[in-house]
Structure 1
Amino acid sequence: MKETQRQIQKEQTRIKILNAAYEEFGKRGIMLTRTSDIAKKAGVSHGTVFAHFKTQEELITAVIEDFEAKMMKRTHELAENCFGVREVLSAHLQGIKEFETFYTRLVIEIRMLPKSSRTTFISLQSGLSFHLSKILNKEIEEHKIVDLPIYFLFNNWNGLINYYLVNGDLFAPGESVIERCGDELLDYFMKLIKDKPL
């Protein structure tokens, strides 16, 4: 069924609100951003935000769900042709880099967000885990990397990246942490997990 002009316009307005929310959440913080800030950034009335999202919690969850969909799509695209752990981890970094400011705020504030938002964030992490676990198992069997539980390797990688993002003012003041430190973190992590001959 063909969409009407009004439906198209409504969807475009919703996208404008989501994009404005990404930017404002990244700049001000998710919990500190007011819906009026988002409305102003999107160029819509405050009431229009609530016409699309009944509550602020619903808006936050919608932004995180939209982010999850984009991040998963990007990670799948990048990881599809990867043949090794390093390539999958590099694809993960590239996916984060596209949404770095928002993702960093999400990592910082996740414990304060509504349960539905936390659930969506966990789903996002499991998407990366899916891609990574296949490659990790293969390289463990081939004795290319250390034989440790997959969850331990995944959590160490995730923890390393998140630590650098959360402390970006120390590691890359005023710059992208992924741009400045990504290759170095990848190199060190690969050295840590490389299997050593007995």
Structure 2
Amino acid sequence: MKRSIRQIQKDETREKLLSAAHIVFGQKGIMAARMSDIAEAAGVSHGTVFVHFKTQETLVAAVIDDFGIRMGQRTHDMARNSGSLRDVLKAHLEGIREDEAFYTQLVIETRSLPPIARETMISIQSAVSFHINQAAQREMDAGVIKPMSMALLFNTWIGLVHYYLTNRDLFSPEKSVIETCGSMLIDHFMHMISSAN
């Protein structure tokens, strides 16, 4: 079915709002940002935001969902194309880097977000965990990394990444943590779980 010009414009406006919200949430914080901030960043009227998203909660959930889809797809593509744990970890960090300010705010504010947004964050982590665990299992079976609990392996990785992101002022002030520290984090994690140790 062919979409009308009006529907195309509506879809484009929605995408513009999602993009603006990613940026505003990364700059101001998710819960501190106002709908009027997002409207201004998108170059639309305040009322236009509410045409697409009835509440701030639905906008937050949509932005997190949009981010999750992109993050999951990137990790899935890399896992399918390579399969090595190191490459899956690189893909995970690259997915974060593309929207690092937003993701960092998401990590910081997860406990205070509406339930639907927290559920979406859990889904994001589950998708990433699935691919990391698949790659890790292959490398455990091959004797490349130590046998260990998959939950502990993933939680150690995500805890390391989140610690650096939420303490950017210590590790990479005014710069991307992923660009500055990403390779070091992967090297450290791989060394820590290597069976050669």
Report TM bin, short chain: over 0.9
* 1:111 maps onto 2:111 in alignment: yes
**Post-superposition offset of 1:96:** 0.9
Aligned pairs for 1:38-57 (under 5 A) are 38-57=38-57
Deviation beyond 2 Å, 4+ runs, structure 1: none
Report the residue type matching 1:70 in the other structure. Answer: R
**Post-superposition offset of 1:79:** 2.2
**Post-superposition offset of 1:137:** 1.2
For the residue of structure 1 that corresponds to 2:81, the secondary structure is coil
User: How far apart in 2 are the matches of 1:83 and 1:43?
Assistant: 42
- Of the structure 1 ranges 83-92 and 151-160, higher mean CA displacement relative to structure 2 is found in 83-92
Q: Hey, what does 1:36 align to over in structure 2?
A: 36
Alignment TM-score, normalising by the size of structure 2: 0.97
Deviations 1:10-37 (A, max 9, x none): 0011111111100000000000000000
For the residue of structure 2 that corresponds to 1:118, the secondary structure is helix
User: How far apart in 2 are the matches of 1:183 and 1:110?
Assistant: 26
Q: Hey, what does 2:61 align to over in structure 1?
A: 61
**Post-superposition offset of 1:102:** 0.6
Q: Hey, what does 1:177 align to over in structure 2?
A: 177
Q: Hey, what does 2:191 align to over in structure 1?
A: 191
Q: Hey, what does 1:86 align to over in structure 2?
A: 86
Question: What percent of counterpart residues are identical?
Answer: 54
Structure 1 unaligned segments of length 5 or more: list them: none
The count of corresponding residues between Structure 1 and Structure 2 is 197
For the residue of structure 2 that corresponds to 1:83, the secondary structure is coil
* 1:150 maps onto 2:143 in alignment: no
**Post-superposition offset of 1:78:** 2.2
Structure 2 unaligned segments of length 5 or more: list them: none
User: How far apart in 2 are the matches of 1:179 and 1:192?
Assistant: 21
User: How far apart in 2 are the matches of 1:83 and 1:115?
Assistant: 33
